[in-house]
A and B are shown apart, each in its own frame.
Chain A
Amino acid sequence: MPKRTDIESILLIGSGPIVIGQACEFDYSGSQAARALMEEDYRVILVNSNPATIMTDPMMADEVYLRELTPSSIAQIAREEQPDAVLPTMGGQTGLNVAQDLKEAGFWEEEGIEVIGVDIDTVQITEDRQQFRDLMEDIGLDQSRSNTAKSLLEAKEITQELGGLPIVIRPSYTLGGGGGGIVWDADEFESMVTRGLELSPAHQVLIDECLYGWKEYELELLRDPNDNVIIIASIENITPMGVHTGDSITVAPQQTLTDKQFQKMRDAAIKAMNSIGTFAGGCNIQFAFEPGTDRMIVIEINPRVSRSSALASKATGYPIAKVASKLAVGYTLDELPNEITGDTSACFEPSLDYVVTKIPRFNFDKFEGVDEELTTQMKAVGEVMSIGRTFQESLQKAWQSLEIGYAGLGADREDADRETVRKRLKKPHWDQLLHVRHAFRKGASVEEVYDITQIDPWYLHKIQDMVDLEEEIRSTALRDIDERFMFEIKRNGFSDEQLAYLVPEDVDDEEVREYRKELDVTPVYQVVDTCAGEFPAETPYYYSSYETVNESTVTDKDKVLILGSGPNRIGQGIEFDYSCVHGVKAAREMGYEALMLNCNPETVSTDFDVADKLYFEPVYWERVMDVIDLEQPEGVILQLGGQTAIKLGERFEEHGINIFGTPFEVMDFVEDRGKFTEVLRKLEIPFPPYGVAHSVDEAVQTADRLGYPTLIRPSYVLGGEGMRIAINEDEVAEYVSNILSIYPDNEILLDRFLEDSIEIDVDAVCDGEEVWITGIMQHIEPAGVHSGDSTAVLPPYSLSEEVQDTIRQYVRDLAFELDIIGLLNVQMVVKDETVYVIEANPRASRTMPFVSKACGTRIPAIATKVMLGEKLKTFREAGELDCDLEGYAIKEPVFSWDKFPEVPKELGPEMKSTGEAIAFVDALTDEHFQQPYEMKDLYLSR
């Protein structure tokens, strides 16, 4: 049936601030939903409190509300706007929860607003353990078995029924599941059951079947109003059961099930989805599969789009959120086209002819004392996805994408020692696969590694093959590698850097690259086309591979390559994707062909219809250069992608690749404390006393000279990584040796820390002729708390006009002196009416999206056009530089403390927040201002 005409306006709920487990994938789904509904001429009312999202851009919807996502605020908006329907499935669990709360309060019914995209009456079934079990039993799907015991004898009987040890014991009604765990052998059994029975207030324990060693799968489904269900993707977790799927390394499509096993899973998934009420939309179902017995059990259902559906969309090319939105307004799948081919139906199941690998990215370094073992509680802050023709290629590309210094799956440095390998293999950790590789290097067999890790042998065999190939490379001189062998190496995903490390002679990756090109071994680009090449595809979505035919036709247009910001991490997240998306749009508006390169599946920038061409590739030197070699762009834009892109700047410069906007020397220059201080001196701008050090001793001497407290930080980092405030020599020594252990050769910066001062963040754009100060933000928390963790108020709430004028003057002076073309962010502190400049960053800042939203200005777009040669004058004359903010806008940091209960909640110069929200207030009496103001000193620590 065609789209519904009985509804005209739709309320779309976002997911709010980024927290662990709910990140920018919901900006991707929300943006797609908004676009899809606008396309169908519905009036779209959108609400989200996260200013760093594309979905909250004014043009994304008819009405955009930057408001908090509470039942009362949503109710207020709904009353004002009187939408006919609400779509709550695009905003993660947050969106769904709010809609459910309002449903329970009878609000939707009262207002005559229909909930679409999900059967809200049945949502709780998927969330309530018992109801879910009952429903699955009704439709005949197998589940994990469990039973309650009230005595040791009963426990023994139940264990026998469940097939013996291992089993899982959970004492009933204890807080946080205390006293539970896996029982491996008979010795422990009695004591653990007895202890469990004692611990439980009801003196009973739940005995669960142990799923250790089971394989985990996820299916992404779409269902239309006719109950047609299709499976968009199958995802197999390499990490076995027991680790949250968000923390697991996963592969699409599934690799190790036979067709009969897979179809059984597909049948079960369709049955399960059709059982949870009447609705049209997306859904995700998780299964566990026991190798050997073929038993398959349902783990859970999420009746909404999810992180996995974002991944599945990028992995297959199928725009799940977009199609799910159209299904929610009445379309059936057969009425919609497959936008990738342009010609075939959207009602089909994508067929892949490549392998996709997802690896989560963690930030344990930000949380001292955190338990790094991976469990059922998600801890990852971001993820990378990579596409390769084979698993090996895909896996190595994923490691190159992670941006933690790896050139692939190891083979780029000394291997870990035997003891570490043994320890790390045993328990799932972020680097478990790396240790699988090390284990093979040390002679372990697939059987041995399987016994320890329970990772499916198929993957282990492939990694062992890679290690075998490594050995072959180790014994071959570079110049003895022939074309054929080089192709084999590259098809296994090895980077030039790994190759340089492996060959016996002392060469670097540039020499390998040069030799490789001599052999004419270069990658080609293939289209992600949803159909394994069966039909021609219209979509310019590419990945590299060492195959034979290049499908990415190079046009004769002028091109700009925009480098994305890679995986989300603390300090570099959605804000930079926001900048990239606008950069792409601006470049297109100026007539350039915009090429986007990124490897983060959660982002809007990697949506296939954002740029003219999307290269889903690691933001890694070799992969970026390969694209540049093919496309020969007029230049690259580095300022938008955070520190990721800037790190590549020096090598671009060396290779004569044009960088649009501020030249690389300047980006480098501002990181050089000595040179930067010279500039400040010349401009007569005050700065706190500082020093640099390259060793612990030097640092202690410098700190003694500067006086305490001293702010210590490494150079070239983002998000205040490794930054600490030291109050004595011992602390200086401790912090500096920590930094040097992570970054040997780093130049350590030391500043006298100005206590009780006010911190200021300024964003600006300069075209060489004038400087546009886009916003001055005053932090509520005292200096010393990282700017990303501070509550920032725009405009300043307690600075005199003189001080503000001084701030503006300093920013202007700096921008001109530094030859900034494009973006500039300056951090300052104010103490006793004196303004000190702490640092300057000639790139997009984390606050830029916030200022854009607060003022209604298109900062990233204008900045990009300035980088490409336009002048601010044009925009000024068009009134585009005017800020329309009335009152104050407040940027509120949001933390994910609940994911790390063992980590003390304290704030310091190292950033810990994962997201932010925006609040607009008329007066400083508002609680959004008052609350942080009253608590401003509470958490300041090192």
Chain B
Amino acid sequence: MTDHTNDTSPQASDPAKLVLEDGTSVRGTAIGARGLTGGELCFNTSMTGYQEIMTDPSYYGQLMMMTYPHIGNYGASDIDMEAEEPMVAGFIVRSFTERHSNRQADETLDEFMREHGLVGISGVDTRALVRHIRDKGVMNAVISSDELDDDVLLERAREWPSMDGLELASKVTTDSPYIYCEGTGPRIAVYDFGVKQNILRSFRARGATVRVVPGETPLDDVLSWDPDGLFFSNGPGDPRAMADAIDRVGRALETGLPIFGICLGHQLISLAQGFDVYKMFVGHRGANHPVKNLDTERVEVTTQNHGFAVDENSIDDGKARVTHVNLNDDTVEGLRFKTFPGLSLQYHPEASPGPHDSHYHFDAFMDMVASERNVSVPDQPAEPVRAVR
């Protein structure tokens, strides 16, 4: 890869560099906050929803590269937050829009990034980098707008801790339990490993009372609230490094309560059942992944964000059944469990960003809870108690 600037915007500004741990170095222009940041370099192929992606806790600690070239087009808005603040460690784009156009915007994306101290780089041949990591596999990198020396940055990139074997959920989970909303429907306890706001919104829309608890909360504490269903959230990091959580999930499965897991939650449930989870070569990150529901034969276009997956061959068919598969690479996307009422999904039915094709899973889970626990699901959404956004 050549080392010239890739700037398309006529306004010259501060230079920045992106250096990968394999020595690839690209010059660009600094966007957002100035400074140095690092993490696993990954990419997302969604053409919209950059702010939701930026604030998705599952991306905690990663450098997010958007494949769509124009980013920032509609600015930043309070309603597009999936957490209190950005979760990605850095942001990489081809062409950064300084002057957005959408009346919903509260501020420019640049202002938003600066406000939250998020370091980014623009003017980068993102396509070349996507193809690079597609062929070489994911790797760490650093973005810097103060230190620009290649050797120093390469050193930093190499030193950056690998995502492999890294537990990160504890960094993004809530500090203390809270009631998110109160409704007339079932009581759902949410184990927060980095839960996306739209998951909570989806429960609230179905009238549930939702209590969010830190990922390390002992099961007994959760059960003492008398939940009707347990939810294990999405989140960042390697699930195999979460022994305590796996142990808690395993005991939760024995309670007989209806269980729902998304993404990391799905992997934790699988590990607790004794199935294997492996790190993928590239991972799935985008909003256009086709998933087939094997029960209905119907296909959903889904939002995905995972670098680990459940090994299909390790699934004990006495314990679970594969209900959903990815049509691109046949990986496991959904499980129905046999020894307890429950389902889990590798992808993100709450979307945000992405298509709404899979919202029905929330209905399915609520119905499961309703019938198991003999409660009803109301038509009215629940009252917000601490509706973050």
B6: A residues at CB distance < 8 A = 487, 491, 547-548
Q: Are A352 and B99 in contact (CB under 8 A)?
A: no
Q: Are A389 and B134 in contact (CB under 8 A)?
A: no
The answer to the question of B379 belonging to the interface, with a C-beta cut-off of 8 Å to chain A, is no
Q: Are A344 and B327 in contact (CB under 8 A)?
A: yes
A484: B residues at CB distance < 8 A = 4-5, 7
Of A224-232, A700-708, A754-762, A774-782, the one touching chain B = A224-232
A332: B residues at CB distance < 8 A = 297, 299
Residues 183-221 of chain B, each 1 if its beta carbon lies under 8 Å from chain A, else 0: 000000000000000000000000000000000000000
Q: Are A487 and B5 in contact (CB under 8 A)?
A: yes
Of B162-170, B238-246, B249-257, B283-291, the one touching chain A = B283-291
B8: A residues at CB distance < 8 A = 390, 392-393, 488, 491-492
Interface residues of B, count at CB 8 A: 61
Q: Are A487 and B67 in contact (CB under 8 A)?
A: no
Q: Are B10 and A469 in contact (CB under 8 A)?
A: yes
B358: A residues at CB distance < 8 A = none
Complex Cα spacing A487 to B123, Å = 11
Q: Are B127 and A533 in contact (CB under 8 A)?
A: yes
Complex Cα spacing A188 to B9, Å = 46
- Residue from the list A294, A343, A532 in contact with B45, Cβ < 8 A: A532
B282: A residues at CB distance < 8 A = 534
Of B46-54, B112-120, B267-275, the one touching chain A = B46-54
The answer to the question of A368 belonging to the interface, with a C-beta cut-off of 8 Å to chain B, is no
- Residue from the list A263, A291, A469 in contact with B356, Cβ < 8 A: A263
Q: Are A255 and B73 in contact (CB under 8 A)?
A: yes
Residue of A nearest to B68 (CB): A353
Q: Are B355 and A347 in contact (CB under 8 A)?
A: no
Residue from the set A347, A483, A536 with the largest chain B CB neighbour count within 10 Å: A347
> If the complex has contacts A355-B70, A391-B70, are A257 and B48 also in contact, measured as CB distance less than 8 A?
yes
Residue of B nearest to A487 (CB): B4
A488: B residues at CB distance < 8 A = 5, 7-8, 10
Q: Are B130 and A535 in contact (CB under 8 A)?
A: no
- Residue from the list A262, A292, A468, A548 in contact with B128, Cβ < 8 A: A548
Residue of A nearest to B8 (CB): A491
Residues 142-156 of chain B, each 1 if its beta carbon lies under 8 Å from chain A, else 0: 000000000000000
The A-contacting residues of B in range 1-24, CB under 8 angstroms, are 1-2, 4-10
Complex Cα spacing A483 to B134, Å = 29
B74: A residues at CB distance < 8 A = 256-258
Complex Cα spacing A492 to B94, Å = 13
> If the complex has contacts A259-B352, A548-B1, are A347 and B327 also in contact, measured as CB distance less than 8 A?
yes
A926 to chain B, nearest CB (A): 53
Q: Are B290 and A257 in contact (CB under 8 A)?
A: no
The A-contacting residues of B in range 283-313, CB under 8 angstroms, are 286-290, 292, 297-299, 301
The answer to the question of B172 belonging to the interface, with a C-beta cut-off of 8 Å to chain A, is no
Q: Are B1 and A349 in contact (CB under 8 A)?
A: no
A785: B residues at CB distance < 8 A = none
The B-contacting residues of A in range 374-389, CB under 8 angstroms, are 389
A294: B residues at CB distance < 8 A = 104
The answer to the question of B228 belonging to the interface, with a C-beta cut-off of 8 Å to chain A, is no
Size band of the A side of the interface? 35 or more
Q: Are B134 and A536 in contact (CB under 8 A)?
A: yes
A351 to chain B, nearest CB (A): 4
Q: Are B48 and A262 in contact (CB under 8 A)?
A: yes
> If the complex has contacts A226-B297, A534-B130, are A256 and B102 also in contact, measured as CB distance less than 8 A?
yes
A-B pair count, CB < 8 Å, reads: 192
Residue from the set B9, B69, B94, B103 with the largest chain A CB neighbour count within 10 Å: B69
> If the complex has contacts A390-B8, A532-B45, A548-B128, are A352 and B327 also in contact, measured as CB distance less than 8 A?
no
Residue of B nearest to A389 (CB): B69
Residues 26-57 of chain B, each 1 if its beta carbon lies under 8 Å from chain A, else 0: 00000000000000000101111100100000
Complex Cα spacing A227 to B300, Å = 11
Q: Are A456 and B299 in contact (CB under 8 A)?
A: no
Q: Are A267 and B288 in contact (CB under 8 A)?
A: no
A255: B residues at CB distance < 8 A = 70, 73
Q: Are B77 and A258 in contact (CB under 8 A)?
A: yes
Q: Are A259 and B69 in contact (CB under 8 A)?
A: no
Q: Are A465 and B130 in contact (CB under 8 A)?
A: no
> If the complex has contacts A258-B77, A487-B4, A534-B134, are A351 and B46 also in contact, measured as CB distance less than 8 A?
yes
Q: Are B104 and A348 in contact (CB under 8 A)?
A: no
The answer to the question of A682 belonging to the interface, with a C-beta cut-off of 8 Å to chain B, is no
The answer to the question of B110 belonging to the interface, with a C-beta cut-off of 8 Å to chain A, is no
A393: B residues at CB distance < 8 A = 8
The answer to the question of B354 belonging to the interface, with a C-beta cut-off of 8 Å to chain A, is yes
Complex Cα spacing A531 to B287, Å = 11
A292: B residues at CB distance < 8 A = 103
The answer to the question of B173 belonging to the interface, with a C-beta cut-off of 8 Å to chain A, is no
> If the complex has contacts A292-B103, A334-B327, A533-B130, are A468 and B351 also in contact, measured as CB distance less than 8 A?
no
Residue of A nearest to B10 (CB): A469
The answer to the question of A363 belonging to the interface, with a C-beta cut-off of 8 Å to chain B, is no
The answer to the question of A448 belonging to the interface, with a C-beta cut-off of 8 Å to chain B, is no
B297 to chain A, nearest CB (A): 6
Q: Are B351 and A263 in contact (CB under 8 A)?
A: yes
The answer to the question of A354 belonging to the interface, with a C-beta cut-off of 8 Å to chain B, is yes
Q: Are B288 and A259 in contact (CB under 8 A)?
A: no
Q: Are A354 and B101 in contact (CB under 8 A)?
A: no
Q: Are A266 and B68 in contact (CB under 8 A)?
A: no
> If the complex has contacts A227-B298, A351-B46, A549-B128, are A256 and B73 also in contact, measured as CB distance less than 8 A?
yes
The B-contacting residues of A in range 852-889, CB under 8 angstroms, are none
B58: A residues at CB distance < 8 A = none
Residue of B nearest to A335 (CB): B327
The answer to the question of B171 belonging to the interface, with a C-beta cut-off of 8 Å to chain A, is no
A492 to chain B, nearest CB (A): 6
Complex Cα spacing A690 to B357, Å = 71
A531: B residues at CB distance < 8 A = 45, 288
- Residue from the list B297, B299, B353 in contact with A259, Cβ < 8 A: B353
The answer to the question of B344 belonging to the interface, with a C-beta cut-off of 8 Å to chain A, is no
A468: B residues at CB distance < 8 A = 10
Q: Are A228 and B298 in contact (CB under 8 A)?
A: yes
Complex Cα spacing A447 to B68, Å = 27
The answer to the question of A458 belonging to the interface, with a C-beta cut-off of 8 Å to chain B, is yes
Q: Are A348 and B289 in contact (CB under 8 A)?
A: yes
- Residue from the list B45, B49, B94 in contact with A390, Cβ < 8 A: B94
Q: Are A351 and B47 in contact (CB under 8 A)?
A: yes
The answer to the question of A253 belonging to the interface, with a C-beta cut-off of 8 Å to chain B, is yes
The answer to the question of A461 belonging to the interface, with a C-beta cut-off of 8 Å to chain B, is yes
The answer to the question of B176 belonging to the interface, with a C-beta cut-off of 8 Å to chain A, is no
> If the complex has contacts A257-B102, A258-B104, A549-B128, are A354 and B77 also in contact, measured as CB distance less than 8 A?
no
Q: Are B67 and A353 in contact (CB under 8 A)?
A: yes
A547: B residues at CB distance < 8 A = 6, 125, 127-128
Complex Cα spacing A231 to B73, Å = 21
Residue of A nearest to B52 (CB): A259
A913 to chain B, nearest CB (A): 41
Q: Are A533 and B79 in contact (CB under 8 A)?
A: no
The answer to the question of B97 belonging to the interface, with a C-beta cut-off of 8 Å to chain A, is yes
Q: Are A533 and B131 in contact (CB under 8 A)?
A: yes
Q: Are B328 and A348 in contact (CB under 8 A)?
A: yes
> If the complex has contacts A468-B10, A483-B4, are A347 and B299 also in contact, measured as CB distance less than 8 A?
yes
Cβ-closest 6 pairs across A and B: A259-B49, A345-B327, A259-B353, A458-B101, A532-B67, A533-B130
**Given A256-B101, A259-B48, A351-B47, 8 extra CB contacts under 8 A:** A231-B301, A334-B299, A348-B328, A353-B130, A355-B70, A391-B70, A457-B101, A468-B10
Binding site for A on B (CB under 8 A): 1-2, 4-10, 43, 45-49, 52, 67-70, 73-74, 77, 79-80, 94-95, 97, 99-104, 125-128, 130-131, 134, 282, 286-290, 292, 297-299, 301, 327-329, 351-356
30 contacts between A and B (CB under 8 A): A227-B298, A256-B101, A258-B48, A258-B74, A258-B77, A258-B104, A259-B353, A259-B354, A291-B102, A333-B290, A348-B301, A351-B67, A351-B68, A351-B287, A352-B47, A353-B126, A353-B127, A389-B127, A446-B99, A461-B101, A465-B10, A468-B10, A484-B4, A484-B7, A487-B5, A491-B6, A526-B127, A533-B45, A534-B45, A535-B134
